[in-house]
């Protein structure tokens, strides 16, 4: 009989405290749906009333199997819980669960709040009782609990018991400043249980300020806590919160957790972990951390020669788990046999059959490696990968040749003395024997300037002669820009997502120190891929 | 009397196993010098004989106070240690210390090596004895020790004792696959000590495959191990090695380590930790991880409004250590979650004093919120935030006015029939009563095209009349682009980091559907901020 361990996600609340992270309403909805599919038990959506996006989100939140939770703080001193407008806004969000932060460190009560120790205990008691009276599941986030316990254990425990006695389902031990080490987390969690709050009513909330948030969470669970709070990819204020993406596989796959605890995450959901992690990075427009435990692109990459040859004999020699279990994949140096069979599988998926041991496979792998060194990324640009392989295999027709282009960006005053911008692009293309010259500006239907890449894209697609019918239903649906290398040697990588009338969607990549060039390369590849896929015959 | 704890850095050996990392000779020399300044005890330089760079580096290594160490493997079966050419190449490097990897997991001995268990024990014994006979300090890297101990504790210990009895100064317990958890590391380290190898002869070498490399290293030290192996910024194969940059401050500042152990790192060296960490990122051309424990740019950033107001009363309320101790600094960023106290603190940091409850504070917060809705992000662009506030407070002089600009991007064939790109920018500025027109192209000193933003930046900075002396030492050090909103309505946000001759670094933001416009806005703000900070008087 395994004990139930609950997972509480706070990506949308504490995760949003990350510097420069500000989720939109649509992004919050998408993240909540992904978390629910993953199978966490609680989704903390934000602080209703604290800002307009959080309030909108609680009004318009997705239906989830997970228990939706609103965050707030215990009532202030000098008023009743019923008359505290901040607390009222939290309850008005109508979530089944409410998590209130309350202070448990005497120094903070007197220094930050400036109230008496007894007033603070009463604030906790009355607030939790109020939430319970409203029929909600109540949680107390015991702020600075570990530091508070070290300074004044009696008072820190008194605060917890005030919340627990008032009916809190969970008392969450927070290492708010993130400075506590695993052994202390273990001992103090044990002391809390010994004081009379059972482990299945205790949660743990850690921050990564010493790089121990994952270990601290595990230490508290070993001591008996049965709820873990954390975020996707360890997002969160300062150094971030405990990373649920690292914790979940450990809890499901490693002893002693695997045989003694039960979570709401299925094996199928675990196999989607890499996708869930990447989803958040996509929303944040972050480069996924290659070295991330379990889900990083390098997490199962074997570079050392000795390791790679042993892996071929038995993967368990240098892998602590099977990468497929978390939706990840082994990466072996391109030059060897395993790299080639992987490549053949990817080509077959694009309808290109190549015999095993075809010497051109090594050439393709070398080209990919060289171009990735320059800044190209083929993981997110399958269509460009396919074009690279087709070129190497002699399967890429020359549809047309771009002779030259010129784009002008101008910013000046218009006749009403307002500053306006306008771009204009000229493209000269040779199709068969014929030269075609096209021009476009950067204005959309509203008359707003959309910039030089827009002008260039429109000029290129304006007249491609015999191919025009094929490309007329193409549209650019997304455009991502990333500076690789950084600094003054910055190189720009542009990834363009295109779509056509049949609903096909494909991605191409361009790289250059010049963003207009990088965009143009990706635009060109998008058109080439479409012409090939539609089996268009090249003009003579 | 504190016990000595030794720090062993393997950035140049195991760190180089990171996917896509390949240090040059000069880079290895620079990293070795930085490590020596930091005060680590051992620098592992690579595997002499394994590749040309490592061999060159050992021939041409810097003089260090730290003990230079060469890495290799124990002799192969069927030959003597004296006749093993791989081992000979390692010894030929002439380092005072030599670290040899040997197998301790029975499964690996039979599966990966294909030799008998006894042959492997003899390989360890004879190799260590040979290194000792040559007058070197010998270390045994006990590969897969934790997995080996779990599978066959008797054999794993036999391997360790073979090395120890043969004279190894250090027996290093390696969690090669990175899958072991802290509690197991603790217990197994204790078992090794109980078997007769004293803790002051034991090292710990962890990998971060479960996100526990730091905690595992600390657990082994708690159990008695007295050498930690790790890398700068946790570089290393797969998910990386134990991060010395996270471990060092914890060992020096936190209990029980602080009062019971002594390392070779001085308080002065600790204050250079941020610089050491950034040095490695600079070499790797990586954007430093903002959330890195202790040294990340966000490690002491306080976004939540409640936190920021408490920090103003006493920094220890939300900081586990004083950031200056590791060479870091407090950041109170702006965002729509921030309250007025947060805003006032930020303004005060920029030298702008505003009274509490000044009605203009609300106006500034409203403007920030409105602009963040348009795509601006002030968390990562403090200088632009400051300019916005100054404008609202009437503290931002009009230094000059941009009347117009024009940028041309052209791609065409040159006289050698190669496709080349070139951009050209013209900027017209009015300073005082005078109109100044400047032009620049996009070529850097090598004659390579750096794109339209580069041309615009150079044209703008070419002649700003009376301000020229002030801006001459400015340079653009980083450039980040993010597409916000996405899709066809894409809006581009550009963040530019600038630096001046005094070593000041500041960030500005620009937003537009047109990437050139967005960049221009950020460039203009970078110049304005510098003119204000240098107290330049506006031209009449």
Predicted confidence (pLDDT) per residue in B331-359, tens digit: 876 654 556 777 888 888 888 999 888 88
Over 70: is that where the pLDDT of B363 sits? Answer: yes
Subunit contact A19:B246, Cβ cutoff 8 A: no
Would you tell me which residues 116-175 of chain B have a C-beta closer than 8 angstroms to some C-beta of chain A? none
Report yes or no: A488 at the B interface, CB cutoff 8 Å.
yes
> Does residue B360 belong to the interface with chain A, where contact is any CB pair within 8 Å?
no
Half-sphere exposure of B52 (CA within 13 A, CB side): 1
Mean per-residue pLDDT for B87-99?
97
Q: Is A64 exposed, middle or buried (0-12, 13-18, 19+ CB in 10 A)?
A: middle
A523 Cβ neighbours under 8 A, 6+ residues apart: A453, A456, A457, A460, A476, A496, A508, A510
Instruction: Tell me the C-alpha distance between B443 and B457, whole Å.
Output: 12
Cα–Cα distance, B328 to B294 (Å, whole number): 7
Distance in Å, alpha carbon of A247 to nearest chain B alpha carbon: 8
Query: Are residues B244 and B9 in contact, defined by beta-carbon separation less than 8 angstroms?
Result: yes
By CA distance, what is A207's nearest residue in B?
B293
Q: Could B239 and A486 be called an inter-chain contact, meaning their C-beta atoms sit closer than 8 Å?
A: no
CA Rg, chain B, in Å? 29
| Residues of B whose CB is below 8 A from A240 | 291
pLDDT for the residue numbered B439? 96
Backbone angles phi, psi at A157, to 5 degrees: -70, -35
- B183 interfacial to chain A (CB closer than 8 Å): yes
Contacts of A50 in chain B (CB under 8 A): 337
Average pLDDT of span B295-324:
85
- Per the CB < 8 Å rule, is B451 touching A513? yes
A382-392 vs A337-349: helix crossing angle, rounded to 10: 110
Confidence of residue B511 (pLDDT cuts 50, 70, 90): very high
Give Cβ neighbours of residue B225 (< 8 Å, ≥ 6 apart). Answer: B173, B189, B199, B202, B203, B204
* pLDDT at residue A304, as a whole number: 65
Q: What is the mean pLDDT of residues B48-63?
A: 87
Give the 3-state secondary structure of residue A538. coil
Residue B68 near residue B35 (C-beta atoms within 8 A): no
Q: In A, which residues are within 8 Å of B476 by CB distance?
A: 488
- Domains of chain B, first to last: 3-265 (3.20.20.70), 401-533 (3.30.160.270)
Nearest-5° Cα angle at A115, A109 to A121: 65
> pLDDT above 70 covers what percent of chain A?
95
Residue listed under structure tokens 């196999």:
A271
Whether B313 and chain A come into contact, CB under 8 Å, resolves to yes
Contact A451 B512 (CB under 8 A): yes
- Cβ-based neighbour number of residue B94 at 10 Å: 14
Q: How confident is the model at residue B303 (pLDDT cuts 50, 70, 90)?
A: confident
Question: Which of A139, A57, A147, A148 lies closest to A94 in space, CA to CA?
Answer: A57
As a residue count, chain B comes to 540
Residues of B in contact with A320 (CB under 8 A): 177-179, 209-210
Interface test with B, best of A74, A210, A222, A319 (most B CBs within 10 A): A210
- Cα separations in angstroms, A416 against A420, A449, B401: 10, 17, 17
pLDDT number for residue A370: 82
The pairing of beta strand A227-230 with beta strand A202-205: parallel
Q: Note whether B475 contacts A: Cβ–Cβ < 8 A.
A: yes
Work out the end-to-end distance of chain B between its first and last CA atoms, rounded to an integer number of angstroms: 69
What is the structure's pLDDT at B487? 53
Do residues A128 and A167 lie in contact, with contact meaning Cβ atoms separated by under 8 Å? yes
Structure tokens at A330: 């082994």
Element (H, E) at A479: strand A475-484
Q: Which residue of B has its CA nearest to A406?
A: B410
A205-to-A177, A202, A241, A448 alpha-carbon distances in Å: 11, 10, 8, 48
Q: CA-to-CA distance for A125 and A274, rounded, in angstroms? A: 41
Task: For chain A, give the percent of residues with pLDDT over 90.
Answer: 68
Closest by Cα among B100, B105, B104, B95 to B126 = B100
Contact A209, A176 (CB under 8 A): no
pLDDT for position A336:
45
- Using a CB-CB distance cutoff of 8 angstroms, which residues of chain B are in contact with residue A208? 291, 293
A52: Cα separation from own chain's centroid: 23
Contact B478 A492 (CB under 8 A): no
Rounded to 10 degrees, what is the CA torsion of B332, B335, B341, B343? Answer: 80
- Residues B83-106: what's their mean pLDDT? 96
- Which of A 374-413 lie inside 8 A of B, CB atoms? 402-413
Burial of A348 (0-12, 13-18, 19+ CB in 10 A): exposed
What is the C-alpha to C-alpha distance for residues B187 and B214, in angstroms, rounded to an integer? Answer: 16
- Using a CB-CB cut-off of 8 Å, the residues of chain A touching B492 are 451, 481
CA dist B148 and B192 (Å) reads 13
Among left, alpha and beta (phi > 0; psi -120 to 50; other), residue A178 is left
Read off the pLDDT band of A489 (50, 70, 90): low
B71 DSSP assignment? E
Please tell me which residue, A137 or A306, carries the higher pLDDT value: A137
Is B19's CB within 8 Å of A290's CB? yes
- The yes-or-no verdict on residue A55 having pLDDT over 60 is yes
SS (H, E, C) B234-274: HCCCCCCECEHHHHHHHHHHCCCHHHHEECCCCHHHHCCHH
Helix (H) or strand (E) holding A162: helix A153-165
Chain A residues with beta carbon closer than 8 angstroms to that of B208: 291, 293
Contact A18 B210 (CB under 8 A): no
Whether A404 and B423 lie within 8 Å, measured CB to CB: no
Nearest Cα to Cα of residue B230 among B178, B169, B154, B290: B178
Q: Which residues contact B353 (CB under 8 A, 6 or more apart)?
A: B347
Q: Contact B294/A210, CB-based, under 8 Å?
A: yes
Cβ pair B452:A404 closer than 8 A: no
Task: Spell out which residues of chain A touch residue B310, defining contact as CB-CB under 8 Å.
Answer: 108, 111-112
Judged against a pLDDT cut of 50, whether residue B399 lies above it is answered with: yes
Helix %, strand %, coil % of chain A (to 5): 45, 20, 35
The owner of tokens 């919160």 is: A241
Return the beta strands (E) in B53-169 as ranges: 67-73, 97-103, 137-143
Residue A514 Cα, gap to closest chain B Cα (Å): 4
User: Would you say residue B232 has pLDDT above 60?
Assistant: yes
Nearest to A239 among B293, B336, B475 (CB): B293
Q: Which of A144, A133, A154 is nearest to A87 (CA)?
A: A133
Contact between chains at A304 and B513 (C-beta distance less than 8 A): no
Cα(B263)–Cα(B259) distance, integer angstroms = 11
Lowest mean pLDDT among A51-55, A332-336, B162-166: A332-336
Interface of B with A in 320-339 (CB under 8 A): 320-321, 331, 333, 335-337
Q: What is the pLDDT of residue A7?
A: 98
The pLDDT score that the predictor gives to residue A335 is: 43
Question: What pLDDT shows up at residue B520?
Answer: 95
The beta strand positions in B401-474, using DSSP E, are 401-413, 419-431, 434-441
Q: Pick from B195, B174, B82, B71: which is nearest to B130 by CA?
A: B82
Preferred mutation among A148, A409, A418 to probe B, highest tally of B CBs within 10 A? A409
Question: Between chains, do B317 and A112 touch, taking CB under 8 Å as contact?
Answer: yes
Does residue A520 belong to the interface with chain B, where contact is any CB pair within 8 Å? yes
Count of A–B CB contacts within 8 Å? 336
Taking each continuous run of H as one helix and of E as one strand, the counts in chain A are 20, 16
Task: Identify the bridge partners of residue A435 per DSSP, sorted by sequence position.
Answer: A430
Q: What is the mean pLDDT of residues B424-438?
A: 94
Residues of chain A with C-beta less than 8 angstroms from the C-beta of B366: none
**Mean pLDDT of all residues belonging to chain A:** 91
Query: Minimal Cα distance from B329: which residue of A?
Result: A238
d(CA B376, CA B363): 17
Mean pLDDT of A95-109: 97
Q: Which residues of B touch A321 (CB under 8 A)?
A: 179
pLDDT beyond 80 at A287: no
A442-471 average pLDDT score:
90
Q: What's the confidence (pLDDT) of residue B314?
A: 83
CA distance B382 to B298: 13
Look at A406 and B407 and tell me if their CB atoms are within 8 Å. Answer: no
Q: Least CA distance to B478: which residue of chain A?
A: A487
What is the per-residue pLDDT across A335-373, written as a single tens digit (0 to 9) for each?
A: 444 567 667 877 887 888 998 888 898 888 888 878 877
Which backbone phi and psi does B6 adopt, to 5 degrees? -100, 140
Where does residue A172 fall: left (phi above 0), alpha (psi -120 to 50 degrees), or beta otherwise?
beta
Please state at what angle helix A452-462 crosses helix B515-533, rounded to 10 degrees: 160
Other beta carbons within 10 Å of B429? 24
Contacts of A520 in chain B (CB under 8 A): 411
Minimum CA–CA partner of A422 in chain B: B514
Candidates B367, B306, B356, B362; CA nearest to A86 is B306
Closest alpha carbon within chain A to B234: A291
């Amino acid at each position: 009989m395994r004990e139930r361990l609950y997972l509480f996600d706070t990506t949308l609340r504490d995760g949003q405290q990350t510097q420069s992270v500000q989720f939109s309403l649509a992004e919050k909805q998408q993240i909540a749906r992904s978390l629910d599919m993953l199978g966490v038990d609680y989704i903390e959506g934000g602080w209703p009333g604290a800002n307009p996006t959080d309030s909108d989100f609680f009004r318009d939140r997705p239906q989830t199997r997970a228990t939706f939770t609103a965050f707030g703080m215990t009532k202030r001193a000098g008023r009743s819980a019923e008359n505290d407008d901040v607390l009222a806004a939290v309850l008005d969000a109508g979530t089944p669960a409410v998590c209130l932060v309350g202070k448990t460190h005497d120094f903070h009560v007197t220094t930050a709040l400036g109230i008496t120790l007894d007033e603070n205990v009463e604030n906790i008691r009355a607030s939790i009782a109020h939430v319970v009276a409203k029929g909600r599941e109540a949680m107390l986030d015991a702020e600075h609990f570990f530091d508070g316990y070290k300074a004044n254990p009696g008072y820190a425990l008194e605060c917890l018991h005030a919340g627990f006695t008032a009916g809190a389902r969970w008392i969450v031990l927070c290492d708010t400043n993130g400075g506590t080490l695993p052994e202390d987390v273990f001992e103090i969690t044990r002391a809390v249980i010994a004081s009379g709050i059972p482990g299945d009513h205790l949660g743990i909330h850690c921050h990564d300020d010493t790089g121990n948030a994952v270990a601290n969470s595990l230490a508290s669970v070993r001591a008996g806590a049965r709820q873990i709070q954390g975020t996707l990819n360890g997002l969160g204020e300062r150094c971030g919160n405990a990373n649920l993406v690292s914790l979940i596989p450990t809890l499901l796959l490693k002893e002693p957790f695997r045989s003694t605890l039960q979570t709401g995450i299925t094996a199928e959901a675990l196999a989607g972990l890499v996708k869930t992690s990447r989803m958040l990075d996509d929303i944040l427009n972050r480069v996924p951390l290659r070295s991330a435990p379990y889900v990083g692109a390098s997490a199962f990459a074997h570079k050392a020669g000795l390791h790679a040859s042993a892996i071929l004999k038995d993967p368990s020699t240098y892998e602590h788990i099977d990468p497929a279990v978390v939706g990840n994949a082994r990466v072996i140096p391109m030059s060897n046999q395993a790299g080639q069979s992987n490549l053949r599988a990817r080509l077959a998926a694009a309808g290109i059959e190549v015999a095993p041991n075809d010497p051109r496979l090594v050439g393709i792998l070398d080209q990919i490696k060289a171009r990735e060194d320059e800044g190209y990324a083929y993981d997110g640009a399958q269509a460009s990968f396919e074009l690279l392989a087709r070129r190497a295999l002699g399967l890429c027709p020359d549809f047309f040749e771009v002779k030259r282009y010129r784009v002008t960006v101008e910013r000046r005053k218009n006749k009403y003395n307002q500053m306006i911008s306008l771009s204009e692009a000229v493209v000269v293309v040779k199709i068969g024997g014929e030269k075609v010259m096209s021009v476009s500006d950067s204005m959309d239907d509203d008359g707003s300037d959309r910039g030089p890449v827009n002008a260039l894209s429109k000029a290129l697609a304006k007249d491609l002669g015999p191919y025009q019918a094929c490309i007329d239903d193409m549209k650019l649906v997304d455009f991502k820009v990333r500076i690789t290398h950084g600094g003054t040697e910055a190189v720009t990588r542009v990834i363009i997502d295109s779509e056509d009338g049949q609903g096909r969607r494909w991605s191409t990549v361009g790289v250059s120190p010049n963003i207009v060039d990088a965009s143009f390369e990706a635009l060109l590849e998008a058109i080439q891929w479409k012409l090939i896929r539609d089996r268009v015959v090249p003009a003579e």
